[in-house]
Structure 1
């Protein structure tokens, strides 16, 4: 099924199908904030998202490079900001010394809340970190998207891909207490929503560019087959918590990352450009690191 995306063009919200190509006009369908979410929770499921786009008959043509075109995180409620970025840690098989047994009892992985949906950044936007990170780590991940209906029941919309940039150096100094601080770096997502079941195989490469040159490169995998935990057990357990079933809430749920630059001894620095090429799905997510300014002190 074609990917679905939403965007703002000349101050108006639109939706489209597929992934636009640079230099080629792409058809955008005018929608309202919440129109696609309503189609999802109205009983149609992920497959209803495509129909909701094409049912919008008012259209415009826009080019990917148009400065008035800005893509949005999938299904983001821009009016209410009733959205949450959260995720799991330590989920990949590469971080365990054995494979799980087929009938092994489920043990929930570590979990974190990273911020509001409005904190998400899109491709080519800078990702801001604290002023003096210890050791930054990019994390290419699958992000599942859920929308709660008016009764608080989560409805799965599909998946996209993200970069959960964080300060692993701070985490390692005090894993039991400082991980929430380590996660206080901005996160990026691709705007392309794949309205399909969570992917089993996702593969690609990360390239870190420094001053226009390639400074590091390595492969990654982040689909369900790469995980130690089963996706349905992770999500069922998480949504057993009432706080995550607030009516209308959109959840961006990151499934964790494989080993990458840190595990190879490479340090990401201020100004580096992180390019995540999700080769298996034809998607590229690139963002530049921007270390924030030091706090000037309390007033």
Structure 2
């Protein structure tokens, strides 16, 4: 980690309560947790200027605390700012955002903004945490891992979005289905997405670099580097976000938005095929963030038949 990183916030479940931690101690070191009521953390971002100091003051002052040992198995990380009510958060993202896909160029500064394609991934509570399986339909054509920066926004009572910070995710999808027919892209995205539980309280990173390692049967089957920082993108992050939030549907009061900014080339582009049981490890070396998830093919039971006409 050569760059200076912003402060980090983590939401956790501990002893039947919801808590916030404002540091990342090494395993075995003490860590202070601050108890928060449902929605209080999201409210702190909309009721203050959103800075790390202001949010910490709003959440920590007068809060019940607990001191735990970092790495304690009874402390369970949560997806940052995820409401407990299903349907109160959206997971979505942009496609084809990297300069590599635009001949190394950047979007022109002048003229009308032409937005990238956007996709809906699912509700926020569909996101998986590190260590949880990523399920996909039983017969994908060709899966691809996609390490990405994920912006987090909370809408206030009037529906105005407030940027909270960023984390990282793995937008696993069936790129083979997309390439078969781009119109199938909504189906392509119906694979689980992993989100890291650490929320960086700062602007989107200009550089976010790391390495993917895919393990099969206990051995490394593929590995490669990635760059998902804003300097690697063709589009400017502010333009993408401003365009997305011009749509009232994503500005519903109290909604939390997790927005994926797009991925670098990955294992698929190297001719590798992700298989059932593969373990995908994402190491964002620039930020000291690592997480891994195992891919699981799933064959659901058949849906109940329609009534006869």
- Give TM-score scaled by structure 2 length: 0.92
CA displacement, residues 189-222 of structure 1 (integer Å, 9 cap, x when unaligned):
1111111011111100000011121111100000
CA separation in 2, counterparts of 1:74 and 1:85? Answer: 12
Q: Are 2:67 and 1:61 aligned?
A: yes
Deviation at 1:224, TM superposition (A): 0.5
Deviation at 1:133, TM superposition (A): 1.1
Q: Aligned in 2, Cα 1:179/1:80: closer, same or farther, shift over 3 Å?
A: closer
Q: 2:110 aligns with which of 81, 89, 103?
A: 103
Q: 2:288 aligns with which of 254, 261, 282?
A: 282
CA separation in 1, counterparts of 2:104 and 2:10? Answer: 39
Deviation at 1:36, TM superposition (A): 1.1
Native 8 Å contact 1:148 1:154 kept in 2: yes
Native 8 Å contact 2:86 2:125 kept in 1: no
Q: Aligned in 2, Cα 1:285/1:59: closer, same or farther, shift over 3 Å?
A: same
CA displacement, residues 89-127 of structure 1 (integer Å, 9 cap, x when unaligned):
000001112513343542110001111111111111111
Q: 1:204 aligns with which of 206, 210, 227?
A: 210
Q: Are 2:55 and 1:23 aligned?
A: no
Deviation at 1:55, TM superposition (A): 1.9
CA separation in 2, counterparts of 1:145 and 1:88? Answer: 14
Report SS of the residue matched to 1:94.
Answer: helix
Gaps of 5+ in 2: 1-5
Q: Aligned in 2, Cα 1:19/1:104: closer, same or farther, shift over 3 Å?
A: farther
Native 8 Å contact 1:26 1:62 kept in 2: yes
Give the equivalent residue in structure 2 for 1:144: 151
Which runs of at least 4 in structure 1 moved beyond 6 Å after TM superposition?
none
**RMSD value over aligned CA atoms?**
1.5
Q: 2:58 aligns with which of 48, 52, 55?
A: 52
Q: 1:94 aligns with which of 94, 100, 103?
A: 100
Report SS of the residue matched to 2:200.
Answer: coil
Report SS of the residue matched to 1:178.
Answer: helix
Q: Are 2:192 and 1:186 aligned?
A: yes
Within a 5 Å distance, the mapping from 1:1-299 to structure 2 comes to 1-47=6-52, 48-79=54-85, 81-100=87-106, 101-103=108-110, 105-175=112-182, 177-299=183-305
CA separation in 2, counterparts of 1:80 and 1:225? Answer: 34
CA displacement, residues 130-172 of structure 1 (integer Å, 9 cap, x when unaligned):
1111111000000000011111111000100000000111111
Give the equivalent residue in structure 1 for 2:3: none
**Further displaced range: 137-146 or 127-136:** 127-136
CA displacement, residues 233-260 of structure 1 (integer Å, 9 cap, x when unaligned):
1011110001111001100000000001
Native 8 Å contact 1:33 1:79 kept in 2: no
CA displacement, residues 55-77 of structure 1 (integer Å, 9 cap, x when unaligned):
25322233444333221111111
The alignment covers a number of residue pairs equal to 298
- Give TM-score scaled by structure 1 length: 0.95
Deviation at 1:17, TM superposition (A): 1.1
CA separation in 1, counterparts of 2:86 and 2:223? Answer: 39
Deviation at 1:81, TM superposition (A): 4.1
